[in-house]
A and B are shown apart, each in its own frame.
Chain A
Amino acid sequence: MVHKLPSVDVVLVGFGWTGAIMAQELTEEGLEVLALERGSWRDTGTDFAPSFIQDELRYRYHGHLFEETAQETLTFRNTPDQTALPMRRLGSFLPGTGVGGSILHWNGQAWRFLPYDFQIRSQTVARYGNAAVSQDMMLQDWGITYDELEPYYMRWEELCGIAGQAGNVNGQKQPGGNPFEGPRSKPYPTPPMKQTYGPTLFGQAAASLGLHPFPCPSGNMSQAYTNPLGVTLAPCTYCGFCEKFGCGNYSKASAQTTILPVLMRKKNFTVRTESEVTRVNVDAFGKHATGVTYVDAQGNEFEQPADLVIVCAYATHNVHLLMSSGIGKIYDPSTGQGTLGKNYCYQLTPSVDLFFDDKLLNPFVGAGALGVIVDDWNGDNFDHTSLGFIHGGYIAGYMTTGRPIETELLPEGTPKWGAKWKKAFVENYLKSMSVSLMGAVMPDKSNHLDLDPTYRDVYGRPLMRMTYDFKQNELKMQDFAMGKMVEIAHAMKPREIKKSARGPRYDIEPYQSTHNTGGAIMGASPADSVINRYLQHWDVPNLFVVGASAFPHNSGYNPTGTVSALALWAADAIRRQYLKHPGPLVHA
């Protein structure tokens, strides 16, 4: 039996990072906001206190803060001719569950995308001609420009106290910053983090090659910071248990450290935990969302009516929920029909490992976003004529951790186990680091999400099926970037280096990044997108879908800056336009 509950103004599906942003913004309008979160309440003192959070086994390997595949997973195959099999254990990506979502255990690498990204198709064609975009590459403009989004990027950086060195303020180049970044209206709210030895060597080597190194913009605090909501974060202690861990020091920007202390005082806000939404309900015409159905920890089913439904359940879950709810037409690569599930993209992350004889790098002195970057080979920052690929990625000299189970850099030819393995590991542990690429991924016709014909979840719903592989554009880009990384690596003068390329096939097991994008993309037309430029569903105007699922392609940066700016932009559109005139904000 389904229990029907009294209606609310706004129901949020998921109370992670974008859920917190949307709740904070919409409660400001006096709306009654209810967030439904499948996981439990989480807070610093109780869930990631420094008296136990630095536990590599429990958090990294047993995934104590991650979602469980028993609750939600997907099936995976590389190509449509294979049979997809369930992801039985998390591997390649590690979404979170519970209040705060994935950002609770993120690194804090806090990026904006380039102006090029938002107009990627038109700018690529204008510079290189139609032939630069292959038949299978479903490249499209985003329906929004960097300049429109800039104020929202600024707001997210101020909300989170991002530490960095500006490279371009209102068109004025700034020394020491990223000369390729889009113009910013203001510098970063806090100065960049101080660098340890490894990133410093990387920066020196890059500069000696004529490149433009700068410190990674960071959500790990370089100093104490009080955000515009009045919430204070503390300086990061370089604890080295950052990525995949919650921060015990209130030093990493997250829902808990930036928004919740204010939001949780508002009487018009409620979060209901242990409540997993199983579908978004629409009326008989499919044009109006009536609310959602959710299931509590005992399996009791509830119907929660709402005037406005906002899905912010993380990129892949957003897409799965729309599919399970029968909202929109699922994309079919063989016919090109349908928009839901297309343009699924990921990231390509090859690296070069460096081994020094004489330099102690102390990798355990690290932080999630500690590193020096060069952006010379990202986006369209360089001439791609006759390279055979578009876009690129940033190259980083990060020093995020020395956790010993995970941090295993070994010279070429080292056996995988036994006495020689042990000797090599011990000799190189303190004296090695990686140079890595955050590589962009372009949408491809056959990379997509749909529903699996065989495997079901605990509720009997089909699992989502992911069909994904690295394509020519990425593999050529990887070869090119590998050459650049090797050059920088050599300039750092190590004893030896080792190249670690990805692919050629994408493997779902080793961790790469939790940067899944696309599937419910934004755009200028319902013919090739699921949501409009305000993240509003084209068919169901009182439904908004927030998250990286909106990205038509994935750029050569981490996604959360852009996810956050888009969330703030959508919230603003709801506050200023939608509430006055509920209905489509863009007419198709």
Chain B
Amino acid sequence: MKPKKVSRREFLAASATAAAAAGAGAIGTTPAFSRDVHGGDKDPWLPHQADAPHPLQAPDYKFFTPEEAAFIEAATERLIPDDAVGPGAKACGVALFIDHQLAGAYGRAQGWYMQGPWSKGEETQGYQSRLTPSALYRAAIKAIEDHVASSHSATPFAGLAPDEQDAIISDLEKGKLDLGGVDAKTFFKMLWLNTKEGMFSDPIYGGNKDMAGWKMLGFPGARYNYLDWVDRHGQRYDQPPVGIRGRPEWNGEG
């Protein structure tokens, strides 16, 4: 086998340079939605193309109805309550965080394989709900409120005493509550993970307010360089946390 004499690269050169800049290229005479990066060309990036994250814009609810928001605020506060150890889910903005997640790509199950047929499957087979996270929350909250209404006077979940709320959450966790089309365990798992995400993810997403979740643990956040600390075995790290945006006082906010 010998290398080709006529280079394909030369054949295509003209159309492809324009293509890289435009994002959609041309291969031969065929319009193509792919991109050629040829050896020897410049890096295929234009300025300002860094894949930066999308922070939460405005601190108000976009997905939950007021009733749903009340449910989530109450439930997450039972999962991570405010106490002497540190702030709880409410103080950290967990419900707002979850709301914005559900309003976005995560809520739509973007990028997930969502084709049928649908079946519950074994415990070892992972997420099998037909519902997207946003649909799952909506359906589960409604089913839980219906359950509360039929078994606990007329108050919504948020109005119940903490130990009554705990009992309901515990039933969800164990899969004891029948939520109609929604698997209680699946909902619990999702709510619990999203709650922890809201407590401990970078504050740009609306949770972990004032980095309170990180401070409580002693996690320094997005610092990225601990070379000075590799040898300091057993010493307490003495620097405050920083987020992706730095610290509030660096941005004139604190």
Which chain A residues have a beta carbon within 8 Å of chain B's beta carbons? 3, 5-9, 27, 29-32, 34, 40-41, 43, 45-47, 49-52, 54-58, 61-63, 68-71, 73, 76-78, 82-83, 85-89, 91, 194-197, 200, 235, 237-241, 248-249, 263-275, 296-298, 300, 302, 307-308, 359-362, 364-365, 402-405, 408, 416-419, 421-423, 425-426, 429-430, 454-456, 505-509, 578-579, 582
* A241 contacts across to B, CB distance below 8 A: 224
Residue pair B230, A194 in contact (C-beta under 8 Å): yes
* A43 contacts across to B, CB distance below 8 A: 43, 45
Residues of B contacting A: mostly: loop
* A364 contacts across to B, CB distance below 8 A: 219-220, 226, 237
* B32 contacts across to A, CB distance below 8 A: 296, 300, 302
Residue pair B8, A6 in contact (C-beta under 8 Å): yes
- Identify which of B37, B52, B233 contacts A264 (C-beta below 8 A): B37
Residue pair A5, B28 in contact (C-beta under 8 Å): yes
* A579 contacts across to B, CB distance below 8 A: 1
Asked, given contacts A57-B201, A263-B39, whether A88 binds B85 with beta carbons under 8 Å apart, the answer is no
Measured CA separation A89–B190 after assembly (Å): 13
Give B15-40 as 1s and 0s: 1 = Cβ < 8 Å from A's Cβ atoms: 00000000010011011111111111
| Interface CB pairs A-B, < 8 A, 7 | A62-B106, A76-B126, A197-B233, A269-B39, A359-B234, A416-B173, A417-B169
* A273 contacts across to B, CB distance below 8 A: 34-35, 37
Asked, given contacts A365-B230, A402-B219, A507-B123, whether A87 binds B113 with beta carbons under 8 Å apart, the answer is yes
Question: Smallest distance from the beta carbon of A429 to chain B beta carbons, Å?
Answer: 5
Residue pair B78, A418 in contact (C-beta under 8 Å): yes
Given contacts A237-B225, A238-B229, 5 further A-B contacts (CB under 8 A): A47-B50, A272-B37, A302-B32, A423-B85, A430-B217
Measured CA separation A416–B188 after assembly (Å): 11
Residue pair B125, A46 in contact (C-beta under 8 Å): no
* Chain A CB within 8 A of B150 CB: no
Measured CA separation A296–B33 after assembly (Å): 5
Q: How many A-B residue pairs have CB under 8 A?
A: 279
Measured CA separation A416–B34 after assembly (Å): 47
* B149 contacts across to A, CB distance below 8 A: none
* Chain A CB within 8 A of B111 CB: yes
Residue pair A417, B222 in contact (C-beta under 8 Å): no
Residue pair A298, B33 in contact (C-beta under 8 Å): yes
Measured CA separation A27–B7 after assembly (Å): 13
Asked, given contacts A5-B28, A88-B127, A271-B37, whether A365 binds B80 with beta carbons under 8 Å apart, the answer is no
Measured CA separation A307–B27 after assembly (Å): 19
Nearest-neighbor residue (CB-CB) of B166 within chain A:
A418
Stretch among B66-74, B114-122, B134-142, B153-161 lining the A interface: B114-122
* B27 contacts across to A, CB distance below 8 A: 3, 5, 272, 302
* Chain A CB within 8 A of B175 CB: no
- Identify which of A3, A9, A85, A274 contacts B125 (C-beta below 8 A): A85
- Identify which of A54, A82, A263, A422 contacts B244 (C-beta below 8 A): A54
Residue pair A70, B114 in contact (C-beta under 8 Å): yes
Residues of A contacting B: mostly: loop
* A270 contacts across to B, CB distance below 8 A: 8-9, 36-39
List the 9 closest pairs (A to B, CB-CB), nearest first. Answer: A68-B111, A57-B201, A298-B33, A269-B39, A197-B233, A69-B113, A266-B39, A297-B33, A404-B200
Question: Smallest distance from the beta carbon of A524 to chain B beta carbons, Å?
Answer: 26
* A421 contacts across to B, CB distance below 8 A: 80
Residue pair A404, B214 in contact (C-beta under 8 Å): yes
Asked, given contacts A30-B3, A55-B53, A300-B30, whether A417 binds B113 with beta carbons under 8 Å apart, the answer is no
Question: Smallest distance from the beta carbon of B210 to chain A beta carbons, Å?
Answer: 15
Question: Smallest distance from the beta carbon of A283 to chain B beta carbons, Å?
Answer: 16
Measured CA separation A82–B230 after assembly (Å): 49
* B58 contacts across to A, CB distance below 8 A: none
Measured CA separation A360–B238 after assembly (Å): 12
Give B180-205 as 1s and 0s: 1 = Cβ < 8 Å from A's Cβ atoms: 00000000000011001101111001
Question: Smallest distance from the beta carbon of A15 to chain B beta carbons, Å?
Answer: 10
* Chain A CB within 8 A of B251 CB: no
Residue pair B119, A85 in contact (C-beta under 8 Å): yes
Asked, given contacts A56-B202, A58-B53, whether A296 binds B1 with beta carbons under 8 Å apart, the answer is no
Residue pair B219, A264 in contact (C-beta under 8 Å): no
* B202 contacts across to A, CB distance below 8 A: 54-57
Residue pair B218, A429 in contact (C-beta under 8 Å): yes
* A265 contacts across to B, CB distance below 8 A: 39-40
* Chain A CB within 8 A of B213 CB: yes
Residue pair B125, A77 in contact (C-beta under 8 Å): yes
Question: Smallest distance from the beta carbon of B204 to chain A beta carbons, Å?
Answer: 8
Measured CA separation A561–B39 after assembly (Å): 27
* B24 contacts across to A, CB distance below 8 A: 297-298
* B221 contacts across to A, CB distance below 8 A: 54
Question: Smallest distance from the beta carbon of B122 to chain A beta carbons, Å?
Answer: 7
Residue pair B1, A88 in contact (C-beta under 8 Å): no
* Chain A CB within 8 A of B151 CB: no
Residue pair A272, B35 in contact (C-beta under 8 Å): yes
Residue pair A300, B9 in contact (C-beta under 8 Å): no
Asked, given contacts A272-B36, A509-B127, whether A41 binds B85 with beta carbons under 8 Å apart, the answer is no
Question: Smallest distance from the beta carbon of B104 to chain A beta carbons, Å?
Answer: 10
Residue pair A52, B125 in contact (C-beta under 8 Å): no
Nearest-neighbor residue (CB-CB) of A76 within chain B:
B125
Question: Smallest distance from the beta carbon of B33 to chain A beta carbons, Å?
Answer: 4
Nearest-neighbor residue (CB-CB) of B213 within chain A:
A404
Measured CA separation A365–B127 after assembly (Å): 33
Nearest-neighbor residue (CB-CB) of A417 within chain B:
B79
Measured CA separation A454–B235 after assembly (Å): 57
Residue pair B35, A429 in contact (C-beta under 8 Å): no
* B122 contacts across to A, CB distance below 8 A: 77-78, 82, 505
Nearest-neighbor residue (CB-CB) of A45 within chain B:
B50
Question: Smallest distance from the beta carbon of A493 to chain B beta carbons, Å?
Answer: 14
Residue pair B219, A426 in contact (C-beta under 8 Å): no
* Chain A CB within 8 A of B250 CB: no
* B234 contacts across to A, CB distance below 8 A: 197, 359-361
Residue pair B128, A85 in contact (C-beta under 8 Å): yes
